[in-house]
Structures are given as structure tokens and as C-alpha cells.
Amino acid sequence: MQIVKQFQVRGAPGEVRRALFDGRTVDFWAPPTPTPYMLVTHDGQNIFDKSTSSRHRTWELAGTANKVASELGIPAPIIISVFHSRSPSDPYGRGKDLAPQDLFTDGVEPTLNFPGIWPTPEPTFPLSELRGNAYLEQISEAIIPTICNYLGHNILPEHTAMMGASMGGLASLNGIARYPDLYRTALSFSPHWTVGKEPLVEGLMKSLPKPGNHRIWMSRGTKSHDAKYGPYQEYANKIALAMGYRYGRDLATPIFNHTSHNERSWASYVNQSLRFWLKR
């Protein structure tokens, strides 16, 4: 790990550190006092720094997490924000990183609205180039242990969550499915079900760990891409309930009317997802 930058964000004490891990950029922030809580997020470009964000808006996550934790009387979580690898030399890197690799290579057919992968009628690259497994492995087996060692933080799975939106929402569900002993909560905003429709919903939901030790948040808005998610999210909810997840205990599937598919919308209700995770 190489620290390359430090900067402050509104509403949170201390500094965000930017580090490189074998070419992947990661921003992380920790509260000034020890904490048992840790939150890992996708699309790290959009979490802390407006200069790297997609639309010059961030999730304002550190400030919001600090405020929610204070309201609950608990320490704020460490936040680890992992950048995707889209670049001029790899313009479809985000989709390659965040797609649930095994589901697509095992038969789920991607639709043409796969962001950053199939914007045209012809595939931009073969499914064999998906790297969602390696991406999650790097986060779970290299990035998290290294940062926790740097901070002196003991990993407590019962207090560790993964968060993301759109393709990052799918990656968060896939993360808890692949690493159920590390992440106990998935916070999935606007999961992009339309990229694989019902087969993707069924495959990903049924890969989740059985309820008991895990919690699932799946939210959506009603505008832009989110307006198309309704029937697929309802199917996902039905599968979760059939698996034994229960509202009010370990499942939340809120709909936020008049919100869209962007950082401003997700930031407007990220506090509710944090309360779902942190309030036990």
C-alpha cells in the first residue's frame, strides 16, 4: 500500500487517505477513536472527492456516517472506498470489475444496457474478460487486511458491511454471497437488475447466505434507470422472503419516490441505510 494523498471532507474529523494497491486506487477514512464498524464501498471515485466523482457530486458519506453514529451513540465506521478500474486504456473497466462474473459466464445473458460493456448491438469484449471475482478477492483478501493493519483495526464481520449503487449494488450482493464470513450486511442501492433481468435476479438472490447472521438492504428510486427496476426488485424481494429474510429484522426494500439514478439521490437517503445497518 502506498499513501499518495490526504484531504479533508466536510462533517468528518481527520483526513481521508488515498492509497494505491497494485495500481488500484482506494480512499479510506477512520474516526479519531477506535471503532468496531467498517463499511466497504464500490465506485470509490464518487464517495469522498468531488474532483474524481462522475457528476461532481459525492455521497457525503463520511459526514453522514459520523452524524448517524453520533445520533445512535456509537463510534462512526471506518469507510473504505474502492475505485473501479475504468480508464482511457480500459474504458469498460467498471463493468468488468462490478459484474457478478460467475452468473454471466454460467449462462445469464447480458442485455444491451450493460453500462460500459454493451452500449452497441455487438459485444465490446467477451465475457471471459469479466473480473468480478478477482476484484472482490483483491478487496477482501488484500485491501481490507492491509488497511486494517495500518489502522490497528480488528476485523469484526458482525460489524462489517459492503455498499454500492447500480452495478455496485449488484457487486455488494455478490460480495456478501462470495464472502459471507467477512461481510454480514449488504447495502445495495438501485441494483441494476435490468442487465440480466429475471435470471440475474434469481441467480444472485439464491446465492445469498441464509438469514440469521446477515442483513440485506435493497432500495430504488422511481426515475431514470430506477423506474425500470420495479418488477425485478419485487421478484428479488419475493425470493428473499422465501429464503427466510424478514422485514423489520434483516431485510429492507424501501422505495424513494421522485429520486433518480445518481449520487445526489443516493446521498439523500444513505443515512437511512446506515441506520438499518448500525441500529441493532
**What are the tens digits of pLDDT across the range 4-28?**
999 999 999 999 999 999 999 999 9
- Rounded distance between C-alpha atoms, residue 95 and residue 113, angstroms: 11
pTM of the model: 0.95
Look over the chain and give the mean of its residue pLDDT values, rounded to a whole number.
94
d(CA 133, CA 171) in angstroms, rounded, equals: 10
229 phi and psi angles, rounded to 5 deg: -85, -15
Number of separate domains in the chain: 1
Does residue 111 register a pLDDT over 90? Answer: no
DSSP 11-66: TSSS-EEEEEETTEEEEEE--SS--S-EEEES-GGGTS-TTTSSSS----HHHHHH
Please give the Cα distance from 244 to 160 (Å, whole number). Answer: 21
The whole domain housing 91 covers: 2-278
Supply angle C-alpha 20, 52, 130, rounded to 5: 65
- CATH number for the domain that contains residue 222: 3.40.50.1820
- Could you read off the pLDDT of 194-248 as tens digits, one per residue? 999 999 999 999 999 999 999 999 999 999 999 999 999 999 999 999 999 999 9
How far is CA 140 from each of CA 9, 134, 259, 266, rounded to the nearest angstrom?
Answer: 26, 10, 31, 24
